[in-house]
Amino acid sequence: MEAVLVVFVVALALGFDFTNGFHDAANAIATSISTRALTPRVALVMSAIMNFAGALIGTGVADTIAHSIVQMPENTAAARHFTLLIIICALLGAITWNLITWRLGLPASSTHSLIGGLVGAGLAGGLGIYWKAVVEKVVVPMVVSPAIGFAAAFVVMVGVLWLVRRSAPTRTMRRFRLAQTVSAAAMALGHGLQDAQKTMGVILLALIANGWAAPHSHIPLWVKICAAAAISAGTYSGGWRIMRTLGRKIIELDPARGFVAESVSALVLYVMALGLKAPVSTTHTITSAIMGVGATRRLSAVRWGVAKNIVVAWVLTIPAAGAVAAALFFALRPLLG
């Protein structure tokens, strides 16, 4: 029975990875599409390729998900079955919240949906939570990364505007439109580096729970390839609702502001993943960077009403996904034993 549950967890995790891809496709390419730097189809193909490459670069975020969120119980048949049930409910809770926010066109965080699902299902099942690690590696980066994204994007944009103040506007914007090809690719690479690794971590958690991997083992190659392929396929399928929110509803972007927002966001993602091994939200990072570059025009240029709705979705994501996962745990436990 446990072997069947592990296979189901792997399939469900890859399904979550796919929804993560189409939910978060907007993160990497919405700005490039809205400024007409790239056509939608070209942007999606490029983003899918770079997501796949980014997923294979590192495993620090995956190790954090696998080893630093929930405490594994003793290694018995009943405990393995119980832990796999919790992982299933966590994934279902994360997928449910992803679909709700996708339907509403809100760029909520797939990262925090998954972590909220793990915490909610873990608490419902009575597992211990590594609260210190959750605060240090999830909550603090969740607050810090958008703040850094906003401030850095604002400062860099001010510097860029000063550097090009005497340049011909048409030629300058054409150059920034070309440069966005590179910045969008960098952003897509960072998205794969961050988000695909979370699925890898959940699959490794299931393998450890069933005794198919050592407690402190690293990510197997087949897990990396499967997660990378799933998020790439999801990215290619697109996420048009959220693209409209990021690309047009927060602020009307020009190529220069799109380039700066993407470049700053990508740098934040690389530092968090490779340096701190912190699972931060690509959604939060790019959204705050867009607000930052928009504020250089004037504060009123940012549509703060839309921004407020996005922030509400950010705040609700972890508790909402956790509540769904906990409810599913209580509903499914009698059925699965």
Instruction: Decide: 282 and 114 in contact? Cβ < 8 Å.
Output: no
Which portions of the chain are predicted below pLDDT 50? 242, 245-247, 249-250
Q: What is the pLDDT of residue 223?
A: 93
Kindly report the average pLDDT of the chain as a whole number: 83
Q: What is the pLDDT of residue 247?
A: 45
**pLDDT tens-place string over residues 93-121:** 988 887 887 777 666 777 888 999 999 99
For residue 110 the two structure tokens come to 């797939």
For residue 34 the two structure tokens come to 């809205």
What pTM was computed for the model?
0.85
State the residue range of the domain holding 185.
Answer: 2-336
Calpha distance 52→236 (Å, rounded)? 11
Q: What is the pLDDT of residue 246?
A: 47
Q: For the chain, what is the domain count?
A: 1
